[in-house]
Amino acid sequence: MDARDKQLLRSLRLELCTEVLVDGLVIQYLYQEGILTDSHIQEIKSQTTSQRKTMMLLDILPTRGPKAFDAFLDSLQEFPWVKEKLMVKRKEMTVQDPADVTEIAPCILKTSPTDQQLNKLARRLGPEWEHIVLCLGLSHTDIYRCKVNHPHNLQSQIVAAFVLWRQRVGKKATIQNLQAGLMAEEVDPSVIQYMLE
Protein backbone atom coordinates (compact mmCIF):
# COMPACT_ATOMS: atom_id res chain seq x y z
CA MET A 1 0.00 0.00 0.00
CA ASP A 2 1.48 3.35 -0.93
CA ALA A 3 2.22 6.13 1.55
CA ARG A 4 -0.75 8.25 0.46
CA ASP A 5 -3.26 5.46 1.12
CA LYS A 6 -1.72 4.66 4.50
CA GLN A 7 -1.89 8.32 5.46
CA LEU A 8 -5.52 8.44 4.32
CA LEU A 9 -6.50 5.42 6.44
CA ARG A 10 -4.71 6.93 9.43
CA SER A 11 -6.38 10.32 9.03
CA LEU A 12 -9.89 8.81 8.79
CA ARG A 13 -9.31 6.06 11.37
CA LEU A 14 -11.85 7.16 14.02
CA GLU A 15 -14.47 8.02 11.43
CA LEU A 16 -14.10 4.62 9.75
CA CYS A 17 -14.41 2.90 13.13
CA THR A 18 -17.81 4.46 13.74
CA GLU A 19 -19.14 3.97 10.20
CA VAL A 20 -17.86 0.62 8.97
CA LEU A 21 -18.91 -2.70 10.48
CA VAL A 22 -16.34 -5.29 9.47
CA ASP A 23 -18.35 -8.29 10.73
CA GLY A 24 -20.26 -8.68 7.47
CA LEU A 25 -19.07 -8.74 3.89
CA VAL A 26 -16.01 -6.53 4.33
CA ILE A 27 -13.65 -9.10 5.87
CA GLN A 28 -15.14 -11.97 3.86
CA TYR A 29 -14.45 -10.08 0.62
CA LEU A 30 -10.89 -9.23 1.71
CA TYR A 31 -10.33 -12.89 2.62
CA GLN A 32 -11.70 -14.02 -0.76
CA GLU A 33 -9.33 -11.61 -2.54
CA GLY A 34 -6.32 -12.95 -0.61
CA ILE A 35 -5.72 -9.70 1.28
CA LEU A 36 -6.49 -11.28 4.67
CA THR A 37 -5.34 -14.69 5.89
CA ASP A 38 -7.10 -17.07 8.31
CA SER A 39 -5.00 -15.76 11.19
CA HIS A 40 -5.91 -12.15 10.32
CA ILE A 41 -9.63 -13.05 10.41
CA GLN A 42 -9.23 -14.78 13.78
CA GLU A 43 -7.35 -11.76 15.11
CA ILE A 44 -10.11 -9.40 13.91
CA LYS A 45 -12.96 -11.58 15.20
CA SER A 46 -11.30 -11.96 18.60
CA GLN A 47 -11.78 -8.24 19.27
CA THR A 48 -14.60 -7.44 21.68
CA THR A 49 -16.43 -4.60 19.89
CA SER A 50 -17.20 -3.73 16.28
CA GLN A 51 -15.04 -0.61 16.57
CA ARG A 52 -12.06 -2.63 17.82
CA LYS A 53 -12.58 -5.10 14.97
CA THR A 54 -12.46 -2.23 12.49
CA MET A 55 -9.35 -0.79 14.17
CA MET A 56 -7.63 -4.18 13.94
CA LEU A 57 -8.50 -4.35 10.22
CA LEU A 58 -7.10 -0.83 9.74
CA ASP A 59 -3.88 -1.92 11.49
CA ILE A 60 -3.51 -4.98 9.24
CA LEU A 61 -4.46 -3.44 5.86
CA PRO A 62 -1.35 -1.25 5.32
CA THR A 63 0.87 -4.34 5.64
CA ARG A 64 -0.98 -6.37 3.00
CA GLY A 65 0.62 -5.16 -0.20
CA PRO A 66 -0.17 -2.82 -3.09
CA LYS A 67 -3.68 -4.16 -3.85
CA ALA A 68 -4.97 -3.88 -0.26
CA PHE A 69 -6.43 -0.36 -0.46
CA ASP A 70 -8.32 -0.93 -3.72
CA ALA A 71 -9.65 -4.26 -2.43
CA PHE A 72 -10.79 -2.46 0.74
CA LEU A 73 -12.65 0.10 -1.41
CA ASP A 74 -14.30 -2.75 -3.35
CA SER A 75 -15.31 -4.43 -0.08
CA LEU A 76 -17.34 -1.39 1.00
CA GLN A 77 -20.40 -2.24 -1.12
CA GLU A 78 -22.66 -2.00 1.95
CA PHE A 79 -21.18 1.42 2.76
CA PRO A 80 -21.24 3.43 -0.52
CA TRP A 81 -21.00 6.78 1.32
CA VAL A 82 -17.76 5.67 3.02
CA LYS A 83 -16.31 4.43 -0.26
CA GLU A 84 -17.20 7.74 -1.94
CA LYS A 85 -15.58 9.77 0.86
CA LEU A 86 -12.37 7.70 0.71
CA MET A 87 -12.13 8.13 -3.06
CA VAL A 88 -12.65 11.92 -2.84
CA LYS A 89 -10.10 12.32 -0.01
CA ARG A 90 -7.62 10.11 -1.87
CA LYS A 91 -7.65 12.51 -4.84
CA GLU A 92 -7.08 15.52 -2.55
CA MET A 93 -4.17 14.07 -0.55
CA THR A 94 -0.54 15.03 -0.81
CA VAL A 95 1.91 12.28 -0.11
CA GLN A 96 4.27 12.37 2.82
CA ASP A 97 7.77 11.39 1.72
CA PRO A 98 8.20 7.66 2.50
CA ALA A 99 11.92 8.27 3.17
CA ASP A 100 10.88 10.08 6.37
CA VAL A 101 9.05 7.01 7.57
CA THR A 102 11.40 4.14 6.76
CA GLU A 103 14.79 5.44 7.94
CA ILE A 104 16.31 3.00 10.45
CA ALA A 105 19.41 3.87 12.47
CA PRO A 106 22.55 1.97 11.33
CA CYS A 107 23.25 0.76 14.89
CA ILE A 108 19.81 -0.94 14.93
CA LEU A 109 20.33 -2.51 11.48
CA LYS A 110 23.43 -4.33 12.76
CA THR A 111 21.63 -5.94 15.72
CA SER A 112 19.93 -9.32 15.74
CA PRO A 113 16.10 -9.28 16.00
CA THR A 114 14.76 -10.24 19.45
CA ASP A 115 12.09 -12.90 20.07
CA GLN A 116 9.59 -10.11 20.77
CA GLN A 117 10.42 -8.41 17.45
CA LEU A 118 10.09 -11.71 15.57
CA ASN A 119 6.71 -12.24 17.22
CA LYS A 120 5.52 -8.80 16.10
CA LEU A 121 6.81 -9.51 12.59
CA ALA A 122 5.00 -12.86 12.48
CA ARG A 123 1.72 -11.13 13.35
CA ARG A 124 1.96 -8.98 10.23
CA LEU A 125 3.02 -11.62 7.71
CA GLY A 126 0.78 -13.91 5.69
CA PRO A 127 1.58 -16.67 3.19
CA GLU A 128 4.59 -14.70 1.89
CA TRP A 129 6.59 -15.75 4.99
CA GLU A 130 7.75 -18.95 3.27
CA HIS A 131 9.37 -17.04 0.40
CA ILE A 132 11.02 -14.65 2.86
CA VAL A 133 12.67 -17.43 4.90
CA LEU A 134 13.76 -19.14 1.67
CA CYS A 135 15.42 -15.81 0.68
CA LEU A 136 17.15 -15.81 4.06
CA GLY A 137 18.63 -19.26 3.42
CA LEU A 138 16.24 -21.78 4.99
CA SER A 139 15.19 -24.82 2.95
CA HIS A 140 11.77 -26.24 2.07
CA THR A 141 12.51 -29.02 4.58
CA ASP A 142 13.03 -26.40 7.31
CA ILE A 143 9.68 -24.81 6.45
CA TYR A 144 7.97 -28.21 6.47
CA ARG A 145 9.46 -28.93 9.92
CA CYS A 146 8.17 -25.60 11.30
CA LYS A 147 4.69 -26.40 9.96
CA VAL A 148 4.71 -29.92 11.43
CA ASN A 149 5.93 -28.69 14.82
CA HIS A 150 3.16 -26.04 14.99
CA PRO A 151 0.30 -27.50 12.91
CA HIS A 152 -2.51 -25.23 14.17
CA ASN A 153 -0.82 -21.87 14.56
CA LEU A 154 0.53 -19.93 11.59
CA GLN A 155 2.17 -17.30 13.80
CA SER A 156 4.11 -20.00 15.69
CA GLN A 157 5.25 -21.53 12.38
CA ILE A 158 6.58 -18.14 11.25
CA VAL A 159 8.32 -17.40 14.56
CA ALA A 160 9.89 -20.89 14.59
CA ALA A 161 11.24 -20.34 11.06
CA PHE A 162 12.79 -16.96 11.95
CA VAL A 163 14.28 -18.34 15.19
CA LEU A 164 15.78 -21.23 13.19
CA TRP A 165 17.24 -18.71 10.71
CA ARG A 166 18.72 -16.69 13.60
CA GLN A 167 20.30 -19.83 15.12
CA ARG A 168 21.59 -21.07 11.81
CA VAL A 169 23.32 -17.91 10.54
CA GLY A 170 24.45 -16.56 13.92
CA LYS A 171 25.91 -13.05 13.73
CA LYS A 172 24.69 -12.62 10.15
CA ALA A 173 21.08 -12.74 11.42
CA THR A 174 20.76 -8.95 11.52
CA ILE A 175 17.77 -6.68 11.14
CA GLN A 176 19.44 -5.38 7.96
CA ASN A 177 19.50 -8.87 6.38
CA LEU A 178 15.94 -9.48 7.54
CA GLN A 179 14.87 -6.18 5.98
CA ALA A 180 16.60 -7.18 2.72
CA GLY A 181 14.65 -10.46 2.69
CA LEU A 182 11.38 -8.63 3.31
CA MET A 183 12.10 -6.09 0.58
CA ALA A 184 13.01 -8.87 -1.88
CA GLU A 185 9.49 -10.23 -1.38
CA GLU A 186 8.02 -6.70 -1.66
CA VAL A 187 6.69 -6.71 1.91
CA ASP A 188 5.57 -3.23 2.89
CA PRO A 189 8.30 -1.25 4.76
CA SER A 190 5.78 -0.43 7.52
CA VAL A 191 6.03 -4.09 8.62
CA ILE A 192 9.66 -3.54 9.66
CA GLN A 193 8.69 -0.21 11.29
CA TYR A 194 5.97 -1.99 13.27
CA MET A 195 8.44 -4.69 14.34
CA LEU A 196 10.91 -2.09 15.66
CA GLU A 197 8.35 0.03 17.57
pLDDT in 10s for each residue of the chain, 197 residues = 777 788 888 888 888 888 877 777 898 999 999 999 888 888 888 888 888 888 889 888 888 888 899 999 999 988 888 888 888 888 877 544 444 445 677 778 788 888 998 988 888 887 788 888 888 889 999 999 999 999 888 889 999 999 999 999 888 888 888 888 887 777 777 788 888 88
Q: Do the Cβ atoms of 181 and 135 come closer than 8 Å?
A: yes
Nearest one of 168, 175, 45, 172 to 120, comparing CA atoms: 175
pTM over 0.75: no
CATH of 106-196, one of 1.10.533.10, 3.20.20.60, 3.30.70.100, 3.50.50.60: 1.10.533.10
Residues 6+ apart with CB under 8 A from 187: 63, 65, 125, 128, 132
Q: Do the Cβ atoms of 159 and 122 come closer than 8 Å?
A: yes
Residues of the chain with CATH 1.10.533.10: 3-95, 106-196
Top CATH class of 3-95 equals mainly alpha
Give pLDDT, residue 98: 46
Give pLDDT, residue 127: 74
Give pLDDT, residue 164: 94
Question: Alpha-carbon distance 150 to 154, whole Å?
Answer: 7
